[in-house]
Amino acid sequence: MPLNKFKALLALCGVLIFAGGFVSLGMWQWDRAQQSRQVIKVDSTLVSLESITKPRIPIPSSATLRHVSVEGSYKVTFLAPNQADASGARGNWEVALLHTKSGGAILIARGIAPMPSIISGIENISVSGILMPHQSDNYAPKRQGVLARIDSALVVDETALDLYDGYIIAQSETLGGVEVAGSRIDPPKPRTAVPGFYWQHISYVVIWWLMGAIVVFLPFYNRLVRSRVQPGSKVDSQVDE
């Protein structure tokens, strides 16, 4: 095979590989765009907290946003400022540390502050709500009695018990068979696990496919440029004149 043809074949293979890679990346972003519009279906069956997770381990992905129930007694309460509910409304939440009846401790977002005080070391409080992953971003400066974010890592000094990861947004609290009043939090709705927004992924699709088109066009552009500057071309003839 002549050397020029071999080089041309290698160049063609390179173009096909790069163009195929960009097209594949565009298709991947297209799939993620479609997934970003799909709502995660969460099992709404009420289960005990202990049946789906344990203290001292990260919350399993299958347990996130599950409806759970737990019993125990509140030991200490905190204020969690600037928290956002499902509608995006900001407010101060009251968060309590619950020592569970089965052992361990977990943070409970009881409701919009102030909530009725039911700190007790004896009586059992029954809580049902939505299990949430711990927060990673701070929403307020941390100080005595205030949580910068709802995260069990911030309350390790408040109990000798093993802590559960995450927290529960309480939908109901029952003490001695009586429902505890208070302004409850509208929990966030299940969303897709794919990060980012739909149009953000679509923009990536356009970028990757545009890159693929450029890779395919470049060899033709280079050939066009070479043909215009070769000796004997119209451009050279005009210069000689």
- pLDDT above 60 for 233: no
User: In terms of Cα–Cα distance, which of 187, 194, 91 is closest to 131?
Assistant: 187
pLDDT tens digits, one per residue of 22-65? 888 888 888 877 777 766 676 789 999 999 999 999 999 889 88
pLDDT tens digits, one per residue of 143-176? 888 999 999 999 999 899 999 999 999 999 998 8
pLDDT band at 230 (very low <50, low <70, confident <90, very high): low
Task: Supply the pLDDT for residue 235.
Answer: 46
Beta strands in 90-162 (DSSP E): 90-100, 105-112, 125-132
pTM higher than the cut 0.75: no
Task: Supply the pLDDT for residue 239.
Answer: 42
3-state per-residue secondary structure call for 156-210: HHHCCCCEEEEEEEEEEEEECCEECCCCCCCCCCCCCCCCCCHHHHHHHHHHHHH
Per-residue pLDDT averaged across 75-94, rounded? 91
